[in-house]
Amino acid sequence: MPAKTIPRLVRKFHLTTDPKADILSGITVALALVPEAIAFAFVAKVDPLVGLYAAFIVGLITSIFGGRSGMISGATGAMAVVMVGIVSFYGVEYLFAAVLLAGLIQIIAGLFHMGKFIRLVPHPVMLGFVNGLAIVIFLAQLGQFKGNKEGHEMGAASEGGHSAIDVIFSGNWMQGTEMQLMIGLTLLTMLIIWAFQKIPKFGKLLPAPLVSILAVSALVIGLDLDTKTVGDLASVAGGLPQFHIPMVPFTYETLTIIFPVALTLAAIGLIESLLTLTLIDEMTDTRGRTSQECIGQGLANTTCGFFGAMGGCAMIGQSMINIKSGGRGRLSGITAAMTLLFFILFAANWIEMIPLAALTGLMMMVVIGTFAWASMGILTKIPKEDAFVIFLVTSITVAYDLAIAVIIGVIVSALVYAWKSANKFWVTVWHNKEDGNKVYKLHGPLFFGSISKFRDEVDPKNDEEDDVVIDFSRARVWDHSALEAIDAMAVKYQEAGKKLHLVHLSPDCVLLLKQAKDMVEVNLIEDPNYGILVDYASVMDKKERMADRAGFEPA
């Protein structure tokens, strides 16, 4: 391969534009991945290595095949919470089968370009998602201030899960010197990161998060301070993940058990990944590929199913660490995954010596950088409906579940939009004495939200004139409900023995009308031409048939 070809390929696949920054950022991310992966494994009630293997496999494959360079994926709490039930009732092998099937579902979603629907998520929902997840990450770190391993499991693993708030009320907090030391080291870590960010000259040499972890770890080891370390969570040591076909009966009954779980895992994984992708797009002023990300996530989870790992998706916290540390290329994610594997195989003893306070301080800085502080200042300036959506999504994310919060936020936003659009529809009426008819002129969108107003304003029974015109030149027919309302209105005029003229409808509307089709007056020059939400193939088929009868080319 010619030497000049390699840099072109590197740029084309977004491997790296700054190898040093990507490699150092990847190492920093790997350090932050270890306690998170272990904690999420505890939540899912599987062995810690199952979580670590998932962080390695998902991180590596999505970094290579995913649709967003610089985004970090791994085992997450949002998915771990869903896994608890199937592991408790049926065992870990059923979990591996469900993760494998979830990956296949995600691949199918990518092949059918379903990732593009993330564009339907409104900005207030995005703000609620970001703020909610920042609060959840903050609450998760409080679990590190608990007095025993149980506290870690619940607190650190609650990102996206049901126990985010529970960590505050579960008790068992550290006491005395132990708590003071933990708080002091956490604040020291945050101070080092802040100082390095304020001095760009030093920030260019090494990422601030990596410096803070190394400095605080050296302080704890050098002074032999008695504080909690990664080793207090679980052992990190292990071998290479082994190929392993899930040991479950290949029957329809098994499918009925794993399919609902797989579908839920696939949906949660894609929602969190695509929202994180959108957030990084905005931060870096670049554009990721949603369909490719679906396929990358699917390949990663399918592989996890075959190698005894718990699966995962994008991690907003670790992705923020990567971006803030200068990681922009795919090399950063690849480095993070390979470094994590190196920790598992060769450096477990060293990694287990890292104080949890250093990693807690790092994640606290992530919280500060992730939370959309500007959203607090605009709450009184934006429409109250948008402010309510931000608060609603944030609250549900913290109290219950990320995916549910986003879905509810989108539904509420859609209903608000439909209500506002319905209020923009009105009818003007006048009597045309010259032609002896009555004219209804419609304004605005005619759809399911405004058809009741259409029915109230247009009154066949009380029209004095026998000749009535409904003018659609200032209106737009949006959906099937509007078409049905027009057809129903035509029937009412027929029953009343009056003549109805429908003017300035688009050709698509004319094709789809049934009862009112003969009442449409076509004006090829003045009639608008716009699409409505119908099956395009069926419309074109009808257009061709009408064109054959009329003797002209279909539009």
pLDDT computed for residue 72 by the predictor: 96
Q: Name every residue whose Cβ is closer than 8 Å to that of residue 215 and which is 6 or more positions away in sequence.
A: 192
Domains and CATH numbers, the chain: 18-368 (no CATH), 426-530 (3.30.750.24)
Residue 313's DSSP bridge partners are 74
Q: Distance from CA of residue 202 to its chain's centroid?
A: 35
Distance CA 553, CA 88 (A): 64
| pTM of the predicted model as reported, rounded to 2 decimal places | 0.77
**Contacts from 463-466 at CB under 8 Å and sequence distance 24+?**
463/438, 463/496, 463/498, 464/438, 465/431, 465/436, 465/437, 465/438, 465/498, 466/497, 466/498, 466/499
Per-residue H/E/C for 439-485 = EEEEEEEECCCCHHHHHHHCCCCCCCCCEEEEEEEEEEECCHHHHHH
The pLDDT of residue 297 = 97
Task: State residue 13's pLDDT score.
Answer: 61
Please report the sign of the dihedral spanned by the C-alpha atoms of residue 14, residue 268, residue 402, residue 89: negative
Beta-carbon contacts of 276 under 8 Å, excluding residues fewer than 6 positions away, are 71, 314, 315, 316, 319
Place of tokens 């190394």: 214
Both structure tokens of 308: 């005894």
**Chain Cα centroid distance, residue 98:** 21
Q: Are 345 and 171 in contact (CB under 8 A)?
A: no
| Spatial separation of the C-alpha atoms in residues 63 and 15, rounded to whole Å | 9
Give the pLDDT score at 157. 41
- Cβ-contact 490, 515 below 8 angstroms: yes
Please check whether residue 167 is in contact with residue 144, taking contact to mean a CB–CB distance below 8 angstroms: no
pLDDT tens for the 555 residues of the chain, in order? 555 554 554 555 678 889 999 999 999 999 999 988 998 888 888 999 999 999 999 999 999 999 999 999 999 888 888 898 899 999 999 999 999 999 999 999 999 999 888 888 898 998 998 898 888 888 888 888 987 544 344 344 444 444 567 778 777 899 999 999 999 999 999 999 998 877 766 656 678 888 899 999 999 999 999 999 999 888 889 999 999 999 999 999 999 999 999 999 999 999 999 999 999 998 888 889 999 999 999 999 999 999 999 999 999 889 999 998 889 999 999 999 999 999 999 999 999 999 999 999 998 998 898 888 888 888 888 899 999 999 999 999 888 877 788 889 999 999 999 999 899 999 999 888 777 889 999 999 999 999 999 999 998 888 888 899 999 999 999 999 999 999 999 999 999 889 999 999 988 888 888 888 888 887 767 778 776 654 444 444 454 444 444 443 333
Query: What are 463's two structure tokens?
Result: 């029209």
Residue 202 is predicted with a pLDDT of 63
Report how far Cα 460 is from the mean position of its chain's Cα atoms: 49
pLDDT reported for residue 434: 79
